[in-house]
Amino acid sequence: MNVHFEGTKVVVTGAASGIGRSMAVGFAREGATVVASDVNQDNLQALQAEMKQEGRHIDIQVCDVSSEEQVASLFEADALQDGLDVLVHCAGFTYFKHFTETTPEEYRRLMDVNLSGTFYCMQVAAAKMRRHGKQGSIIVTSSINAHRTLPSQAVYTSTKAAIESLAQSLAVELGPEQIRVNCLAPGTVATALTNLSEESKQAAGRGIPLGRVAEPEDMVGTALFLSSPLSQYITGSTIIVDGGAMHKR
């Protein structure tokens, strides 16, 4: 099968850092039209400049995914006037805190960004795909923590489990229109979120069958696959990309 992304319109959230940044770069290098969004304008501009040096253009738009209004205007970007083919939703964060010490504000902010932000992006993306009659692909980011948690990650883990559930429900609702919805569930990825020292990166790697923690680029192939006709019969699935970590005691 000949897979190509020229003419494919892609929105990437959380594109200023880590996994989202690699997604924006990866799709742009495959020839897709990319709208990269994040709350961090400086890093978005740096990404745009870096891509320009490669001779590629990406559009950037500041958007806090916890704001319904900002999400609505993100999907009205000029580059998306003819519709949207792919959403790669990576925006998210976490904190390490015992659940008894988590304040209501901290709880609400994590729910607002990770879960409500995912809901708003999926809803607006799906509406746009439907409006333009696109057989689109929606990819949202879960975590192996949705399946196997850690101490001090109760709220984060709950948001990720709920994201998987949302994706499954949307896959059922949008299937008849050939809009596919899937989750990418990374293991440990070396990003600003995990903030691993070289020493802890090496130590974590020893607990993983493939012998290392992931780099953000390790996530891109799965998203390209889930956006392409190679995965045309996959919807409502979670693909775990963790170097085998889930299976090792």
Ligand X SMILES: NC(=O)c1ccc[n+]([C@@H]2O[C@H](COP(=O)([O-])OP(=O)(O)OC[C@H]3O[C@@H](n4cnc5c(N)ncnc54)[C@H](O)[C@@H]3O)[C@@H](O)[C@H]2O)c1
Active site positions, annotated: 142, 156, 160
Other CB atoms within a 10 A radius of the CB of residue 96 amount to 9
Stretch that binds ligand X, among 14-22, 28-36, 96-104, 230-238 (CB under 6 A): 14-22
Q: What Å distances lie between residue 40 and 13, 21, 37, 53, 171, CA to CA?
A: 11, 12, 8, 21, 30
Q: Which parts of 59-78 interact with ligand X (CB under 6 A)? A: 63-66
- Is the Cβ–Cβ distance between 186 and 219 less than 8 Å? yes
The CA distance from 137 to 1, in Å, is 18
Q: Which residue has the tokens 């923690």?
A: 213
Query: x/- string (CB under 6 A) for ligand X, residues 129-158?
Result: ------------x-x---------------
Q: What Å distances lie between residue 152 and 11, 18, 28, 122, 191, CA to CA?
A: 31, 22, 36, 28, 19
**Full DSSP string of 187-211:** --B-STTT---HHHHHHHHHTSTTS
Stretch that binds ligand X, among 165-173, 190-198, 200-208, 223-231 (CB under 6 A): 190-198
Instruction: Please select the residue that binds ligand X; options are 36, 113, 171, 224, rule is CB under 6 A.
Output: 113
Query: x/- string (CB under 6 A) for ligand X, residues 35-54?
Result: ---xxx--------------
> Should residue 210 be labelled a site residue for ligand X when binding is judged by CB under 6 A?
no
**Phi/psi of residue 150, nearest 5 degrees:** -125, 160
> Should residue 91 be labelled a site residue for ligand X when binding is judged by CB under 6 A?
yes
Residue 48 or residue 141: which is nearer to ligand X going by CB? 141
Residue 37 or residue 137: which is nearer to ligand X going by CB? 37
**Phi/psi of residue 213, nearest 5 degrees:** -75, 160
- Is the Cβ–Cβ distance between 88 and 139 less than 8 Å? yes
Residue 39 or residue 208: which is nearer to ligand X going by CB? 39
> Should residue 26 be labelled a site residue for ligand X when binding is judged by CB under 6 A?
no
Q: What three-state secondary structure class fits 236? A: coil
Task: Write down the least CB distance from residue 178 to ligand X, Å.
Answer: 26
> Should residue 168 be labelled a site residue for ligand X when binding is judged by CB under 6 A?
no
> Should residue 92 be labelled a site residue for ligand X when binding is judged by CB under 6 A?
yes
Binding site for ligand X (CB under 6 A): 13-14, 16-20, 38-40, 63-66, 90-93, 113, 117, 141, 143, 186, 188-189, 191-194
